[in-house]
Structure 1
Amino acid sequence: MSHNYQYDFEWNYNADEPKRERLFPLFKAVFNMKESDLKALYASGFANPTYTPFTYFHDGIAVANVSMFELPMRIGGRRVNAAGIQSVMTDPGHRGRGLFRQLFETMLTELDRRHEAGFLFTDSPRLYEGFGFREVEETFFVSPYRYRPGGPSTRSIRSIPSLRKLSLTNAEDVQVIQEQFRQHAPVSSVFAPMSHGASFYLNMLDPQLQSNLYYSEQLKALIVCKFEGETLKLYDIVGRRIPKLDEAAAAIGEPVSKVECYFHPDLLHPGPWTPIPSPGHLMVRGAIELPKQIHFPITAAF
């Protein structure tokens, strides 16, 4: 049975709380995101004020959406005025009507007017190639690195006094995270987001990732990391300055024989680093030249 639906288009209404919350059921239907988590994002102060939805409504209910937000990047040593694209979603009952294409083209007109480049993550790269996006390979970085604490250590990283484990359910911990993001330095000068607090918060809703979130009083920085044997996996560092690897290892205080870095390590350590292809599909639009080897911190993914 065919239906002649009437759709109402609205955009750039995110500052209006009642209108904004009309999107939440669509997040639940498409991504199974809890409305309570979305409300908590705005209550926490981490929400990106530049988040701009482009939405079709049917009878007041959101049925299709594409959103963009300002994503200033440090790329090749300079600031790039980029945008991120996310919240691409269509209610299953309204698919096949061209809503996604209409919204996406409208959004791209605004993006191209205001930004040098647009980035998105997707499991369907071919879907976006027709809109001028190209896929970019990400690599993480591996290096042999030896660190031994002052004496024998059998402690788990979870019990290290110098690192404080953080939780989003603890108001004091949330305040610590907010403080680090107020004036934090990009984790790399080669390729890194300059502000990713909203993405960081949403990614930390994953209990597995949140279990790797620590604060170092010694470094005055958040460290997202874990150990596999003596392999230190570094996912992000958020602070006013990026410490050298020697400082980070000393602050963590556990034996290290190898480091895997999931962001470009130019500020961390001279290496040598071996790039390893990373799974996932990062896409970019715009006449911007990217470094040969890059990696978005997983805490900044959207």
Structure 2
Amino acid sequence: MTLRQDYFDDPSAWNALVDLLQDTFSIDVSILDQFDGPDRTSMPFGYFDADGRCVANFTAFSMPMIINGRVVKAAGYQSGAVGPEWRKRGLYRDLMQRAFAHTVTEGYELDLLLTDKPALYERYGFRILPQHIFVAQTPTLQKSDLSARQLFLDAPDDLRLIKTLLQDRQPASAQFAVVRQMEMFLLNASFNSAIRLTALGDDTVVAWTFDGATFWLLDIVGTAIPSLATIVSALDIEPERIEICFSPDRLDCEVSLEPYDGYTMLMVRGKAAADIVGPLMLSPMAEF
């Protein structure tokens, strides 16, 4: 086997990781090739066999966060996988330790990961960060002056608008939110056909779903964050229930809390972890 790191500039190695993740998780991250490729801040660590197959991988990437009004240099970890025939040989532990050492050297203040196996990471100092859904009262609707237009990732002009706003966005929350992370937003939107991306005017995109009764507000990407009443009025819907899937401190609305019962748990460690206070939720559009 050959250990490789920072190998995303090699198309054959990137495609080998795509195959490993497809075989392990049944997800196709080659979709990122439609959006200028994988995150250029990524630092992948992988083992490759003599035939060039990626048999194990663990990737660190930059995920700057805003926490209580302060921008924090944070790292996320993803694409952790080992091929079935290579498991129980210590490869995953080895690659994790290399990735963790890399982010320590680079001076990251916070580490984040999502996992369904929290015990695996607790030994490395990670702790579970409880998440909550924010249930809002349906606001009084008003006639909206904002034009609402559905966007499509396969439409070049729409994609250009979304990417521009993702690059220059105001974080959706000042309490706990991603500052910049374009690739996961686009990938998550591609993976779930129920997610709608709607432009409100020229400077805001709302990610949402609606089943005719419940409205899920997943994320807001824009130069400013409109109120919940403005958003619902512009979308011209009358939901019976509203669930906000990120910290709603910029939405000018009253909310109640419900525990988030997701498949994976959000875990954190680092000196900035002590600054995180709930209740909070990481937007589904930022999940990694």
Note if contact 1:263-1:294 (Cα within 8 Å) is conserved in structure 2: yes
Deviation of the 1:228 alpha carbon: 4.5
Secondary structure of 2:206's match?
Answer: strand
Q: Which residue of 2 aligns with 1:94?
A: 86
The alignment status of 1:276 with 2:269, answered yes or no, reads: no
The alignment status of 1:105 with 2:97, answered yes or no, reads: yes
Deviation of the 1:253 alpha carbon: 2.4
Which structure has the larger Rg over C-alpha atoms?
A: 1
Deviation of the 1:231 alpha carbon: 4.2
Q: Percent identity?
A: 31
Range moving further from structure 2, 246-255 or 100-109? 246-255
Q: Which residue of 1 aligns with 2:65?
A: 73
> What do residues 143-174 of structure 1 show as CA deviations (whole Å, max 9, x unaligned)?
213323459xxxxxxxxx93222222222322
Pick one of 161, 166, 171 that aligns with 2:156.
171
Secondary structure of 1:237's match?
Answer: strand
The alignment status of 1:122 with 2:115, answered yes or no, reads: yes
Please give the residue correspondences for 1:146-161 in structure 2 after superposition, counting only pairs within 5 Å. 146-150=139-143
Secondary structure of 2:261's match?
Answer: coil
The alignment status of 1:30 with 2:24, answered yes or no, reads: yes
Note if contact 1:146-1:256 (Cα within 8 Å) is conserved in structure 2: no
Q: Distance in 1 between matches of 2:37 and 2:165?
A: 12
User: Are residues 77 and 254 of structure 1, via their aligned partners in 2, closer, same or farther at CA, if it must alter by over 3 Å?
Assistant: same
Q: Distance in 2 between matches of 1:30 and 1:256?
A: 38
Aligned residue type for 1:234: L
Q: Distance in 2 between matches of 1:150 and 1:294?
A: 31
Secondary structure of 1:241's match?
Answer: coil
Deviation of the 1:230 alpha carbon: 5.4
RMSD over aligned CA atoms reads: 2.1
User: Are residues 221 and 47 of structure 1, via their aligned partners in 2, closer, same or farther at CA, if it must alter by over 3 Å?
Assistant: farther
User: Are residues 254 and 24 of structure 1, via their aligned partners in 2, closer, same or farther at CA, if it must alter by over 3 Å?
Assistant: closer
Deviation of the 1:257 alpha carbon: 5.5
> What do residues 201-238 of structure 1 show as CA deviations (whole Å, max 9, x unaligned)?
1111224343x222222x62111123345543211110
Q: Distance in 2 between matches of 1:190 and 1:150?
A: 30
User: Are residues 255 and 28 of structure 1, via their aligned partners in 2, closer, same or farther at CA, if it must alter by over 3 Å?
Assistant: closer
TM-score normalised by L of structure 2? 0.90
Secondary structure of 2:193's match?
Answer: helix
TM-score normalised by L of structure 1? 0.86
Note if contact 2:141-2:229 (Cα within 8 Å) is conserved in structure 1: no
Note if contact 1:146-1:258 (Cα within 8 Å) is conserved in structure 2: no
Q: Which residue of 1 aligns with 2:126?
A: 133
Matched length? 281
Deviation of the 1:256 alpha carbon: 4.8
Long gaps (5+) in structure 2: none
